[in-house]
């Protein structure tokens, strides 16, 4: 989802989508075809799952799902009038358009997943990534410390078996340091 989706990929997806599914609103299908016919518009089209806090969003539903057929959101205004959406898109070709599609089996569609993008206004993903990164770092630190302790215990046992007091003292001092660092 983090990769840039090309215009060709978006065109291919829309063609596939319109061949496989029938939208509840026929005019909405024409609007989708209109967007697919313009590279300039397609460059600004983004397929998304999370529509929160976006300036311009279109929600489309197919006949195989029980959802609102068509909704156009712009700057907190909502309409189900496809013509108003068309006029806005036609008159503002440099504005990003975020499209949410609702169709049967969308959650398992590789075609949809291939064009799906992250909502740029949603920082939830960033927070989750930071948390996962922190957890991974903690696990790694624990594993390194655990490995180091195991190694020290083994070396101490070997020094004891050999009767090597000097190495034993060095290793126990190092062991105490490692244990002390972990207790802070």
Question: E strand or H helix at 57, and its extent?
Answer: strand 56-61
On whether both 42 and 86 belong to a single domain, the answer is yes
Q: Is residue 134 part of a domain?
A: yes
Q: Is residue 16 part of a domain?
A: yes
Taking residue 18's Cβ as centre, other Cβ atoms within 10 Å add up to: 14
| Stated length of the chain | 184
Q: Is residue 93 part of a domain?
A: yes
| pLDDT at residue 139, as a whole number | 78
Write out pLDDT tens, residues 86-97: 999 999 999 999
Single out the residue of 90, 14, 170 nearest to residue 82, CA to CA. 90
On whether both 86 and 131 belong to a single domain, the answer is no
CA distances in angstroms from 91 to 40, 70, 152, 167, listed in the order given: 13, 20, 71, 80
- Boundary residue ending a domain (119, 135, 160): 119
Q: Is residue 146 part of a domain?
A: yes
Cα 89 from Cα 85, distance rounded (Å): 6
CATH number reported for the structural domain that contains residue 31 in this entry: 3.40.1530.30
Q: Is residue 164 part of a domain?
A: yes
On whether both 83 and 25 belong to a single domain, the answer is yes
| pLDDT at residue 53 is higher than 90 | no
Q: Is residue 17 part of a domain?
A: yes
Q: Is residue 1 part of a domain?
A: no
The percentage of the chain sitting over the pLDDT mark of 90, rounded to a whole number, equals 62
Write out pLDDT tens, residues 8-34: 999 999 999 999 999 999 999 999 999
Contact between 62 and 102 (Cβ < 8 Å): yes
Write out pLDDT tens, residues 112-135: 999 998 876 665 655 566 666 767
Single out the residue of 121, 40, 106, 27 nearest to residue 71, CA to CA. 27
| pLDDT at residue 65, as a whole number | 87
Q: What is the mean pLDDT of the chain?
A: 87
| pLDDT at residue 183 is higher than 60 | no
Domain encompassing residue 131: 127-182
């Amino acid at each position: 989802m983090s990769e840039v989706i090309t215009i060709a990929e978006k065109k291919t997806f829309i063609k596939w989508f319109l061949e496989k599914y029938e939208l509840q609103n026929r005019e909405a299908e024409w609007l989708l075809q209109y967007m697919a016919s313009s590279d300039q518009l397609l460059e600004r089209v983004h397929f998304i799952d999370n529509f929160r806090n976006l300036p311009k969003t279109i929600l489309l539903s197919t006949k195989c799902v029980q959802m609102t057929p068509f909704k156009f959101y712009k700057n907190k205004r909502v309409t189900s009038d496809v013509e108003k959406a068309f006029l806005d898109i036609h008159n503002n070709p440099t504005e990003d358009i975020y499209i949410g599609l609702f169709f049967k089996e969308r959650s398992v569609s590789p075609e949809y997943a291939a064009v799906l993008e992250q909502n740029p206004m949603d920082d939830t993903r960033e927070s989750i990534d930071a948390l996962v990164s922190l957890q991974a770092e903690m696990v790694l630190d624990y594993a390194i410390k655990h490995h180091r302790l195991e190694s020290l215990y083994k070396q101490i046992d070997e020094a004891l078996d050999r009767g090597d007091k000097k190495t034993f003292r060095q290793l126990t001092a190092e062991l105490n340091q490692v244990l002390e660092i972990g207790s802070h």
